[in-house]
């Protein structure tokens, strides 16, 4: 039996006057998935997310969250199952972190002992306990982004709608946000996240939807994107010793198109349909090689993304 997706969007359209920002989008996010909405600026990501967050009315089409039709009738109920983080962080003059969270907890009707507990929990989850008494406006952008997440976790929502949570962050803050998102995923949250940078999300999203000028041009896994764009997969494999003989072992695996050895590493080209990087790791380890590194080359993913968004591939 198929479970209804937690987020289900069908034929969604939104026009601002004559400009049609969203032109018929379909999207499913199943329970426990992290789905990335990926596309250049102006593609319609924010508009789509705002509709799901009950902040904008669609011109046509349907959006459902947790079985509820997203619209004025159910707005309150929908808001109780979502945590929405917009792409901007407001200004909170003279407010410290604790007051900020207390304020939002009150708006969710969380009071008394429970409020203290919940606030302690979200502060600790987002690694901000030590900033409880700091002024919100004094926090770095990365900390403010984590505080936004802390705020939307107060009412323990099932679904997180995150609009460009990593944009404008320095590399370290970006890594911290990624780790936090992975943790939320492990906790069972269903996450829809937007970004205009593919590499920010590629390695931990279960599905990627590529959106371009208001239309979804592709949905699938990272592997499927590579397949569709007919871009080969390149995997760099490091072994502690005997790279040349490791290369011979790898050569015999299914889907391997080519191997090159340099600097004690093996560069493996794979057919994205047949090849499987985890098979390389498994084979080498069972044959007694000590793996020091195995990672997929990112440049191919960028190429695939460009091809898909330029309409070079159907």
- Which of Mg ion, ligand ADP, none is residue 207 near (CB under 5 to 8 Å by kind)? none
Compute the distance between CA of residue 110 and CA of residue 240 in angstroms, rounded to an integer. 54
Contacts of 201 (CB under 8 A, 6+ apart): 36, 38, 193, 195, 208
9 touches ligand ADP (CB under 6 A): no
Least Cβ distance, residue 214 to ligand ADP (angstroms): 7
Size of site (CB under 6 A) for ligand ADP: 11
21 interacts with ligand ADP by CB under 6 A? yes
Of residues 217 and 237, the one with the C-beta less far from ligand ADP: 217
Facing residues of 27 across strands? Answer: 9
Return the one option of Mg ion, ligand ADP, none that residue 19 interacts with (CB less than 5 to 8 A, by type): ligand ADP
Picking from 26, 27, 82, 31, the residue whose alpha carbon sits closest to that of residue 54 is: 82
**DSSP structure string for 67-111:** TEE-STTTHHHHHHHEEEE-SS----TT-BHHHHHHHHHHHTT--
Nearer to Mg ion, 215 or 267 (CB): 215
Q: Shortest Cβ distance from residue 57 to ligand ADP (Å)?
A: 12
What's the min distance (Å) between Cβ of 40 and Mg ion? Answer: 10
Contact assessment for residue 53 and residue 84, using Cβ atoms and an 8 Å cutoff: yes
**Residue nearest Mg ion, Cβ-based:** 46
| Subset of 22-51 contacting ligand ADP (CB under 6 A) | 39, 41-47
Q: Please, which residue, 47 or 126, has the CB nearer to Mg ion?
A: 47
- Residue written as token pair 């990926």: 38
Q: How far apart are the two ends of the chain, measured CA to CA in Å?
A: 31
Exactly one of 4, 11, 16, 60 binds ligand ADP (CB under 6 A); that residue is 16
Bridge pairing between strands 291-296 and 233-239: antiparallel
From CA 167, how far away is CA 137, in angstroms rounded?
18
Give yes or no for residue 144 binding ligand ADP (CB under 6 A).
no
**Smallest gap from residue 275 Cβ to ligand ADP (A):** 33
Residue 272 contact among Mg ion, ligand ADP, none, beta carbon within 5 to 8 Å by kind? none
Task: State how far the Cα of 40 lies from the Cα of 283, in Å rounded to an integer.
Answer: 39
| Residues near Mg ion (CB under 5 A) | 45-46
160 vs 247, beta carbon nearer Mg ion: 160
């Amino acid at each position: 039996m198929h479970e209804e997706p937690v987020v289900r969007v069908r034929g969604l359209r939104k026009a601002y006057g004559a400009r049609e920002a969203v032109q018929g989008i379909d999207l499913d996010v199943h329970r426990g998935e992290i789905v990335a909405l990926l596309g250049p600026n102006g593609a319609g990501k924010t508009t789509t997310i705002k509709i799901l967050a009950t902040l904008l009315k669609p011109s046509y089409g349907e959006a459902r969250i947790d079985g509820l039709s997203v619209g004025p009738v159910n707005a309150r109920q929908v808001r109780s199952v979502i945590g929405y983080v917009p792409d901007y962080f407001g200004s909170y003059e003279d407010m410290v972190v604790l007051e900020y969270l207390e304020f939002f907890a009150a708006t969710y009707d969380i009071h008394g002992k429970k409020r203290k507990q919940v606030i302690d929990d979200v502060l600790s989850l987002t690694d901000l306990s030590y900033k409880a008494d700091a002024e919100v406006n004094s926090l770095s952008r990365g900390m403010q982004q984590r505080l936004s997440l802390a705020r939307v976790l107060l009412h323990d929502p099932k679904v997180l709608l995150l609009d460009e949570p990593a944009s404008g962050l320095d590399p370290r803050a970006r890594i911290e946000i990624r780790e936090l998102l992975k943790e939320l995923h492990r906790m069972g949250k269903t996450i829809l996240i937007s970004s205009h940078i593919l590499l920010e999300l590629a390695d931990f999203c279960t599905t990627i939807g590529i959106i371009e000028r208001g239309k979804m041009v592709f949905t699938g896994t990272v592997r499927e994107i590579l397949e569709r764009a007919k871009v080969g997969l390149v995997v760099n494999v490091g072994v502690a010793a005997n790279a040349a003989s490791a290369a011979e072992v790898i050569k015999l695996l299914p889907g391997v198109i080519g191997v090159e050895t340099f600097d004690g590493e093996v560069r493996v080209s794979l057919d994205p349909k047949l090849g499987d990087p985890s098979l390389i790791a498994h084979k080498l380890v069972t044959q007694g090689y000590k793996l020091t590194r195995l990672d997929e080359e990112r440049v191919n993913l960028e190429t695939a993304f460009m091809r898909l968004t330029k309409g070079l591939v159907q």
